[in-house]
Amino acid sequence: MSAPHFVIAGAGIGGLTMALSLARRGIASTVVEKRTGFGESGAGLQLTSNSGRVLDALDLALPLKRVSVSSHGLMIRRWRSGSELLEMPSSPERMPTPFRMLKRSDLHTVLLDAARAMPNIRLMVGRGVQEVSQSENGVSVTLSGQSGTGETIQSLGLIGADGLWSRVRDLTGDPSPPVFTGYEAWRAVVPARAVDKPRVTLHLGPGRHAVHYPVDGGKQINIVVVRQAKEAREGWSRDGERRIVTEHLAGASPALRELAGAAEGWQVWSLFDRKPAAMAQGRIALMGDAAHPILPFLAQGASLAIEDAAVLARLLAEKLGSEGAAGVPAAIASYAAARARRVARVQEESRGNGRSYHLGWPLSIARDFALKRLGPEGLRNRYGWLYDWRDEG
């Protein structure tokens, strides 16, 4: 009998974590990536303890330590004055798993190196999912490349980890398109300066905010500036004019202007939202942004995709062990049921943060008062449900 095998669409953070999670359970996969090379665009990301536990369980703690910076907490400041609203130091007792800050490309490289070392993971570039058909025993996935329709792969199921503009989600018949939020994010990396405590710093202003933190083992600072925009553009990023972000930051604190001024180039991406998908359709599963795009106001996009991979791989392994190939649809349905409430809550919390971050006067006065009253411990407790998550199956 041949080993169980799945096709994974998308070789980003979620897709590679999915492949590794299956491989560690003896389940093979073919990861197809429509781009002609492996890689991740974007500057930095935050890996909170909920997703960090998953990666640590995949024996990735050491390579992650080499490329990441452990956060010493969170600092929230006012946009114009730079004055402190709230400081929340890290709490190793509450979160023994490090809160890691790193470049998106560094995380992707760690995952890709691990995947390449696994004999039961096949990686294919320049191939995208064109069509899929389901039968009682599995799926037939037809791939397309630059030269047109290519080979057809037989597998037990198809896992869509192909992002916001997911082809696999389209094939499930989901008609809901991504919706532009009216905001765009400008991102850059700048050389790191000496800092006492590496941490995430958040600047809140009317219709705007900025966040920055060290990455690249502490050698660089990742900075993201979010501003209102009239038009949207599809795609992950495009080049941004320095003049635009400089004008946008004219009313910001001197420290924030100085940091942003050190950037040699900016990349811009439009922020889209989308309703959660039906994460299961027979032998097709959706995960990460393909299933539930998360706005970047809670730093959970990558983390939720990593969580999805852990839960789906475990349930597939359990059902394959007890029922064989016939159990795959039930495993995928159980995965969707297990994840639905949590991902919807994270989506809504992120949207709520976006509204709160961008309040103008006088509502910002009430927000600032509420933050001060909440205090560091109150803020930790507010998000305990998020960061304390574990796959308890």
Residues marked active site are found at 213
Cβ proximity of 141 and 153 under 8 Å: yes
CA–CA distances in Å: residue 8 to residues 151, 155, 355 = 15, 10, 35
Residue where the block lists tokens 């890709």: 112
Instruction: Tell which residue, 183, 173, 171, 131, has the closest CA to residue 152.
Output: 131
Specify whether the CB–CB gap between 125 and 33 falls below 8 A: yes
| Both tokens assigned to 215 | 């990455």
User: With contact defined as beta carbons under 8 Å apart, do 288 and 14 qualify?
Assistant: yes
